[in-house]
Structure 1
Amino acid sequence: MTTTETSAPTPEPAPGPAPDPGAPDPEAGAAVKAADRAHVFHSWSAQELIDPLAVAGAEGSYFWDYDGNRYLDFTSGLVFTNVGYQHPAVVAAVQEQAGRLTTFAPAFAVEARSEAARLIAERTPGDLDKIFFTNGGTEAIEHAVRMARLHTGRPKVLSAYRSYHGATSTAINLTGDPRRWASDSGAAGVVHFHAPFLYRSAFYATTEAEECARALEHLESTITLEGPATIAAIVLETIPGTAGIMMPPPGYLAGVREICDRYGIVFVLDEVMAGFGRTGKWFAAEHFGVVPDLLTFAKGVNSGYVPLGGVAISAAVADTFATRPYPGGLTYSGHPLACAAAVATIEVMEREGIVEHAARLGETVLGPGLRELAARHASVGEVRGTGAFWALELVRDPATREPLVPYNATGEANGPMAAFAAACKKNGLWPFVNMNRTHVVPPCNISEAEAKEGLAALDAALSVADEYVA
């Protein structure tokens, strides 16, 4: 359930001095890099073609390398450091929990676990009051799908093409972006459909109202052709993250909710990236007045300080397993260190007004600032987002909307985006770049001054992208 929001103003987080990386130590950095290159196998990478930065430290919205180069992090790690790096209250909570009870099996009631579940349930919408803990977002999706299939007795799951839901077997098949292709078994009971995205409409729509109506018609047609009695769940990112931060048009999620109710389908909202203040609400579903049957979370729940994810479960789904055992679990479900970090993170977000700050930042700094950049840079085709969750669509031709680089480009074909990213880093900004987009997803408690510093660096880098505009 959602707690009552207060209208009291919250203070702007004190920016303070930017952290000092201290004296450079290139020799130590070289040793870290050598060990990495010899032994670490990196995700999503051709191992001999990558050159990972050796990171010496991080604090707040910044991190730095061993050569003394400091970067303003517009990625929040992988969009998870919602309260920034090394927040002292969260660090202290992990240290205190380690001194009291470092770990314990998930079948027991443990204070940190119980308190984390209570605090999360207080903030989820509707009756999502039971919390199943996982180690991260991928496992949360895996278990949400398993719960939906067992609850309904049906095999199929629908998800959108422009989506990312994780990298394990079920989650990667649910994923809609090209990371799915190499591992797509074609036998996971997953059917993909087009979710609304007016800028690149699959429905030839010209207004948000048209896009919404036609996307819902397409979804219901897909359900009809697949057989409603075979479909266990529809899984959607409330606001798609890595796929492009496409804000759903008014009425779309409510329409999906109505379709699910009509056909007895479980509605799963993936809030792994959008949750815990990222959009200026505790959960993005609050923007749309929609309550799913299952809600997955991770990342911002404890700013990634210790791996944690989970599924918030409605009363109806939870009742399925009241006297019937749920056939699933994890050794580290609700790990005390991770849960202690979650408790501290949620308390920090409340005490410092971070959710409200993210909303205000989007309304007064990031949104206006990014739209102003779009007005001056021909390479920016569209700006979209909310809170501390934004994306710029970069194009070669604003009229035709041709992407700056081809879909899923690599190597030379990705040259313009690589040049843009290099320009960002040269100006002390670490960018989130995916396909032809750059996402602006800083810590939710970044100060206004730091956000404007990042926008200035982005401004300079967009001049490089402009050079590729036809």
Structure 2
Amino acid sequence: MTTEISDITSDQIAQGRRAHELDREHVFHSWQAQGPFNPMTVLKTEGSYVWDGEGNKLIDLSSQLVNTNVGHQHPKVVAAIVEQAGKIATIAPQHVNDARSEAARLIASHTPGDLDKIFFTNGGADAVEHAVRMARLHTGKHKVLSAYRSYHGGTHLAVNITGDPRRFASDAGADGIVHFFPAYPYRSYFGAATEAEETERALKHLEDLIILEGAGNIAALILESIPGTAGIYVPPAGYMAGVRELTRKYGIVYIADEVMAGFGRSGEWFAVNHWDITPDLLTFAKGVNSGYVPLGGVAISQEIFETFRERVYPGGLTYSGHPLACAAAVATIKAMEDEDLVANAKRLGDEIIGPRLAQFKADHPSVGDVRGTGVFWAIELVVNRETREPLAAYGGSSPEMNQVIAAARAAGLLPFANFNRLHVVPAMNIPDEVLIEALDKLEQALLVADGFVK
């Protein structure tokens, strides 16, 4: 291990080992086979660092689940939670509280177009569920279109809307979901040789599907503006505008899923801003308060809001607009504004991450593709650049990929990996020198990946 040992005490390490024992005895983990799982204990977090159960200091290149956008333990956000707990720790959602009102105002000040009404949820999955419910009630239709290679959440409807293998175990094909092929130039489903061809063919496929499914039956189309865990594949030029035009043409509610890409991660407040698009509904979570307290929501257009002006919306949550979560959101958004973190995310991508990943691609035969924007990037690992055979099969991992991840950890990184990809998704305020060090360490893992190239 080349990790750095911090001032973590022996008592903290002992407490961590006890916590691990209790975890293995009592905690049921998500997305895991419970028996062989050996989770990492975290003893401390600060800025862009975490300390594992043995006191090793790791650079957090994952932002956990791509949500700690302002880093760990941001003092302004922590102070806001403490202050709010001293005033109103919790309150039922039917009552006004200043934290929720101010959070809604701040969110609406950054959403595109007329998305000025905010419905708060506990996270991204239930934001998606409520957005779809709103679209269905607004249109009186039922079907929902969603892309393959997407992720929209783990609750029942959201995971069926999801377009990757995580939905398979729960997909009974009975929830009105129809999947379509996305624009994905590196692994084109349309035999496209150029991005222009990819855009044209992907949009024709989508329009054909709308016609064949019956536009009169389709309530909504949901699309991650930049897909996150599905691969951070940035849509080619013209695609997003074309999708938006098709939804208008056929009277379909367009839901932008910004749960992962939103709140500055892409170098814009919301990723749809890259294409100057205004959806009808926009879902958010994660970065809205850097994940410090669970919070998500739906930003709602005026037209859809009018549907429920005199009509009861049949949905709600006990913790909708929870004051601790909203206080964290207010502090996070203000910190992002005061510290100009959205512009900083763009700068980090343009000046450090993008050029370095391009160099990775030039120097390492295991790197098939690199793509991204802001602090939202993916490295796609392959065993053969010509055939683009992935280092791990779609929907799974491999012994080779596990060795690459282990090498990153041994170098002193906490990486984010999915299938055959390593994601470079640091906090928006990671210091330049720490990011450069992290990329140096990541390159050590790429040397391991190069050893599997055929």
Category of TM-score, reference length = shorter chain:
over 0.9
Query: In the alignment, which residue of structure 1 is the partner of 2:8?
Result: 22
Query: In the alignment, which residue of structure 2 is the partner of 1:159?
Result: 146
User: Counterparts of 1:22-421 in structure 2 under 5 Å?
Assistant: 22-24=8-10, 25-410=12-397, 414-421=398-405
CA–CA distance in 1 between the matches of 2:418 and 2:319?
32
CA–CA distance in 2 between the matches of 1:450 and 1:88?
19
Match of 2:429 among 441, 445, 449: 445
- Aligned AA for 1:258? E
CA separation of 1:358 and 1:91: change in aligned 2, threshold 3 A: same
TM-score (norm 2): 0.98
CA apart distance, 1:29: 2.1
CA–CA distance in 2 between the matches of 1:116 and 1:218?
40
- Aligned AA for 1:463? L
CA–CA distance in 2 between the matches of 1:442 and 1:19?
21
CA apart distance, 1:21: 4.3
CA–CA distance in 2 between the matches of 1:136 and 1:19?
34
Query: In the alignment, which residue of structure 2 is the partner of 1:432?
Result: 416
CA–CA distance in 2 between the matches of 1:429 and 1:21?
18
Match of 2:441 among 457, 462, 465: 457
CA–CA distance in 1 between the matches of 2:434 and 2:378?
18
Flag structure 2 segments of 5+ consecutive residues without an equivalent. Answer: none
Contact kept, 8 Å, 2:6 with 2:56, in 1: the verdict is no
Identity percentage of aligned residues? 61
CA apart distance, 1:192: 0.2
Query: In the alignment, which residue of structure 2 is the partner of 1:13?
Result: none
CA separation of 1:343 and 1:19: change in aligned 2, threshold 3 A: farther
Deviation per CA, 1:132-155: give whole Å up to 9, x if none: 000000000000000000000001
CA–CA distance in 2 between the matches of 1:44 and 1:50?
10
CA apart distance, 1:19: 10
CA apart distance, 1:27: 2.2
Contact kept, 8 Å, 1:21 with 1:64, in 2: the verdict is no
Structure 1 residue 422 and structure 2 residue 409: aligned? no
- Aligned AA for 1:41? F
SS in 1 for 2:35: helix
SS in 2 for 1:165: coil
Deviation per CA, 1:347-370: give whole Å up to 9, x if none: 000111111100000000000011
Single out whichever of 383-392 and 365-374 deviates more from structure 2. 365-374
CA–CA distance in 1 between the matches of 2:124 and 2:269?
17
SS in 2 for 1:48: coil
CA apart distance, 1:26: 3.4
TM-score (norm 1): 0.95
CA apart distance, 1:374: 1.3
Deviation per CA, 1:190-239: give whole Å up to 9, x if none: 00000100110000001111100100000000011100000000000000
Contact kept, 8 Å, 1:21 with 1:70, in 2: the verdict is no
- Aligned AA for 2:346? A
CA–CA distance in 1 between the matches of 2:364 and 2:56?
28
CA–CA distance in 2 between the matches of 1:205 and 1:188?
32
Deviation per CA, 1:313-334: give whole Å up to 9, x if none: 0001111001001000000000
CA–CA distance in 1 between the matches of 2:338 and 2:217?
46
CA–CA distance in 2 between the matches of 1:306 and 1:111?
17
Deviation per CA, 1:117-172: give whole Å up to 9, x if none: 00000000000000000000000000000000000000100000110000111101
Structure 1 residue 469 and structure 2 residue 450: aligned? no
Contact kept, 8 Å, 1:380 with 1:392, in 2: the verdict is yes
CA apart distance, 1:23: 2.7
Single out whichever of 398-407 and 124-133 deviates more from structure 2. 398-407
SS in 2 for 1:49: coil
- Aligned AA for 1:78? L
Flag structure 1 segments of 5+ consecutive residues without an equivalent. Answer: 1-17
For these two proteins, the number of residue pairs brought into alignment is: 450
Query: In the alignment, which residue of structure 2 is the partner of 1:10?
Result: none
Contact kept, 8 Å, 2:5 with 2:56, in 1: the verdict is no
Deviation per CA, 1:283-307: give whole Å up to 9, x if none: 0011011100000000000000000
CA apart distance, 1:20: 4.1
CA apart distance, 1:455: 0.5
CA–CA distance in 2 between the matches of 1:369 and 1:201?
25
Contact kept, 8 Å, 1:163 with 1:237, in 2: the verdict is yes
- Aligned AA for 1:342? A
CA apart distance, 1:28: 1.9
